[in-house]
Amino acid sequence: MTYLRYVGPMILISMLVLGLTNFVPNVDAAYAVSSDPMRVKQTYLDMIRVDQAWAAAGDARTPIVVAVVDTGVDLGHPDLTGNLVDGVNLLQASKKPFDDNGHGTNVAGLIAAVVNNDKGIAGIAPNARIMPIKALEADGTGGEAKLGEGIKYAVDHGAKIVVLSLGLNKYSDYLAGIVQYAEDHNVLLVAAVGNESTSVKYPAAYPTVLSVGGVGPNKQADSRSNYGSELDIMAPWDVYTTALGGGYQYQDGSSMAAPQVAAAAALVWGKYPAMSAYQVRSQLEQTATDLMSKGWDAKTGYGLLNIEKALTEPYKQDRFEPNDLASQAASLPNHTIVKANLSSGQDLDWYAIDAAYDGFIQVVVQPEDGAGIRVKFDSGQSFDATSGTDEGKQTFTVAVTKGITYVQLENVDRARQTLLNYTLRTDFIIYTDPFEDNDKQYKAFTLPERSQTIKGTFHKTDDIDWFAMTLEHSGTMRLRLSTDTGRIDPMLLFQKEGEKSTTIDQAGDGGIEVSSQMDVLPGQYYIRVSNVKDYAGPITGEYTLEIEYTPKLIDANEPNDKSYQATFAAMNAGYEGVFNTNEDVDWFEFRLTSNSLAQIRLTNIPTSRTLYATLYNHSLQEQGTYRSESGSNQLNFEKPLPEGTYYIKLQANQWFMSQMYRLQVSSYGLVSGYVDITGHWARDAISKLTEQGMISGYGDYRFAPNQSITRAEAATVLSRALRLSKRKDLRFSDLAVSHWAYADIAKTVQAAIVDGYPDGTFKPDGKLTRMEMTQMLARSMNMTGKLRGSTPFSDVNESYWGIGILKQMAADGWISGFPDGTFHPEAQATRAEFVTMLDRVVSR
């Protein structure tokens, strides 16, 4: 569907119909409904129970004139000619309302194609007479004034029902008055909601208009059918109907659903001619089949049209009963007019009103015959409404949050014994956004200098929102404005203080406005968000303004493109930079005062870029080249270096200025190639055995002296330190030949220094205990232990399995335990403890 809008004040109306390719008919189904040969293609009639409705209508078929305000009607169509009355061409008064588009003919056939004439299809309402009113051009568009004129003509010339398969997004005081004119003359207006998956269009959105959405063959709301608080009822979306030139075609859209409801209204009014327009509207709503939750909901209204029930079930003056309790509260739209009653002074009526946003719910209650009704909200507020009072004094407004608000109505006179009828009207005003009052440029709300997303509203008529942003840096900016409702036609204005403004207004109703990427300089900027003039507001909906600001960052280290311009990098300090061209390189210099492990850390690299780092010594001899991984935002490397001066050259595969990389250089003093034994109590022993090749670290310049040593590690160190050469085949269940320490363990087992456990395991990766460590070292010196003397440690008794070894090792001065006299034999031995004892053993 296209949305057209003149530059001037007139808003065009579009037909609410989609293309013909969306519906695939089921031509195999056959129903003996009438003699009309194409009835088999009208499967939608079975969904709304037309056969049963015709049976229920009986002979009481008072003729009802249904005005089709549209593109006209094919006045010579053989399936329509018998059911047409005089109409009017509002575009060319001298001509008849002949259809030059086809849409109006589609609508008319659904309502009143002649039944049982052995031609084509069957219309839903045999008692309906079509009044064709041409108000739309051949392309399906037209002016608001002609729409209003068409409705008024229908009212003034005897139509009881007016079907409007058209719509526009803006509210109009003029159309609202025309709609009220029809209501005042007891004429029912039926309108399509629209097909854009957004807010209900006008005139369907006016509270006295019966608004119709569309469901698919699965009886679920079509995803394109508009919805919201003004939606009343659903009817089938896909139809087969009359077409121009005396033909027939498949068609779909909410504009095909609306005439089905209009036809149903004609059948009801034909059987019950004394009903009012409100009662016909209410009867169709209260007999609809629930599609989602019980009662009304924003996606499917009161449910699917059921013409059989509309013709057979008695009319309920108060269709919401029972609703005496909060748990029985009847769901109401937040924009509707309903009639109900309180049966006595003790009767309570509860309603649940669902607000799609934070804001304010307005409730108007008008009781009859001089009585009063108390209105209570779940917020604790209450008001009294008295009959005969002006509507303005009967309007109660309460602040609500998004979700359900409960309203209770009760008689002011609790002793009343008679019925009290009342009319209840609800409306909603969206919240005021937190940026108000910003309707003038000098009142602009100040935004921070960064990319951001904000949500705002047009909560009042002619609301305009101004924002200001002070930029301290040059850069680029892109603006994106979107809405969640078709009732906003958004406009953007962008201006640097003192310069000419730029207006961005490209998309149609409910569209998205996106600016180009704009270069911005330091200074004050203004952004204005508004709705086009004809969509004055207030609007129930939100807009979203996205500001994408990318500053052009300044590299404070420049110029550093040559080694002799290198920026000095102090240890552990941070340095930031960018690459403003593809040829740009950044040099940094750092100094080591001793043999150290230099650690270079680069972070905040754009993931779309690759960063290269080359390390040089003071003579500019390359020491290594490194690069960041694809998709990574960092590059980290470390290298052991002797005392001296070094350089780092950085270069990217492509320039970037939207974010700054960060460089940090750190250094750790190396002792025997380790960074973690400086100042450690076991430093000398670790250094000595490392230099002798008996022990090694973990390959990352770390010895981890305080880490527990495993049994495999201890056996390997002993094997190397004692230069063991003989070994035996091992049969431990948890030690495979492929284990990295298998050979050294085999040698220590052969030398009777190490053995396994009684269960046949060795537990190579198990942590070595202090007792096991002591035993291994004792065996390496051929000590077998002694039993004489008392236990040397307070936490080891005479029954302990290693008491003999402990006595001998303590007596000979190899072990001394802790200052408190304990030894903790089952505690885990550290790598430092093991190396220190081993150093003493090999040095003895």
**148-184 burial string, b = 16+ CB within 10 Å, else e?**
bbbbbbbbeeebbbbbbbbbbbbbbeebbebbeebbe
- Can you read off the two tokens belonging to residue 167? 């719509």
Told to judge if 255 belongs to the known catalytic residues of this protein, a careful annotator would answer yes
Distance from C-alpha of 719 to C-alpha of 352, rounded to nearest angstrom: 83
Distance from C-alpha of 633 to C-alpha of 606, rounded to nearest angstrom: 6
Task: Select from 689, 682, 719 the least CA-distant residue to 704.
Answer: 682
Task: Select from 114, 147, 119, 143 the least CA-distant residue to 130.
Answer: 114
User: Which residues have CB under 8 Å from 5's CB, separation 6+?
Assistant: 11, 12, 489, 508, 509, 532
> Could you write out the DSSP letters of every residue in 504-566?
E--S-TT--EEPPPEEE-SEEEEEEEEE-TT--S--SS-EEEEEEEEE----TT-S--SGGGP
Distance from C-alpha of 672 to C-alpha of 677, rounded to nearest angstrom: 9
Q: Is the peptide bond before 559 cis (omega within 30 degrees of 0)?
A: yes
Question: What CA dihedral angle connects 834, 837, 843 and 844, to 10 degrees?
Answer: -140
In SS3 terms, 48-114 reads as CCHHHHHHHHCCCCCCEEEEEEECCECCCCCCCHHHECCCEECCCCCCCCECCCCHHHHHHHHHHCC
Q: Is 3 helix (H, G, I), strand (E, B) or coil?
A: coil
The DSSP letter of residue 792 is S
Q: Is 806 helix (H, G, I), strand (E, B) or coil?
A: helix
- Can you read off the two tokens belonging to residue 488? 């906003």
34, 229, 255, 331: the active-site residue: 255
The partner residues of 455 in beta bridges, in order of sequence, read: 544
DSSP H/E element including 811:
helix 803-811
- Can you read off the two tokens belonging to residue 136? 């739309």
The partner residues of 769 in beta bridges, in order of sequence, read: 828
User: Which residues have CB under 8 Å from 128's CB, separation 6+?
Assistant: 63, 64, 65, 66, 83, 111, 112, 263, 266
- Can you read off the two tokens belonging to residue 598? 């230099």
Distance from C-alpha of 776 to C-alpha of 778, rounded to nearest angstrom: 5
From residue 361, alpha-carbon distances to 340, 407, 821 in Å are 19, 10, 81
Q: Is 442 helix (H, G, I), strand (E, B) or coil?
A: helix
- Secondary structure E strands in 245-347: 247-252, 330-332, 336-342
CB count, 10 Å around CB of 106? 32
Contact predicate 748/724, CB 8 Å: yes
Distance from C-alpha of 774 to C-alpha of 710, rounded to nearest angstrom: 14
Burial label, 339 (beta-carbon count in 10 A; 0-12, 13-18, 19+):
middle
DSSP H/E element including 588:
strand 586-592
Contact predicate 562/650, CB 8 Å: no
Told to judge if 70 belongs to the known catalytic residues of this protein, a careful annotator would answer yes
CB count, 10 Å around CB of 820? 8
- Can you read off the two tokens belonging to residue 732? 């431990």
Task: Select from 50, 146, 170, 171 the least CA-distant residue to 92.
Answer: 146
103, 172, 225, 628: the active-site residue: 103
36, 70, 427, 509: the active-site residue: 70
Beta pairing, strands 518-520 & 475-483 = antiparallel
Catalytic residues: 70, 103, 255
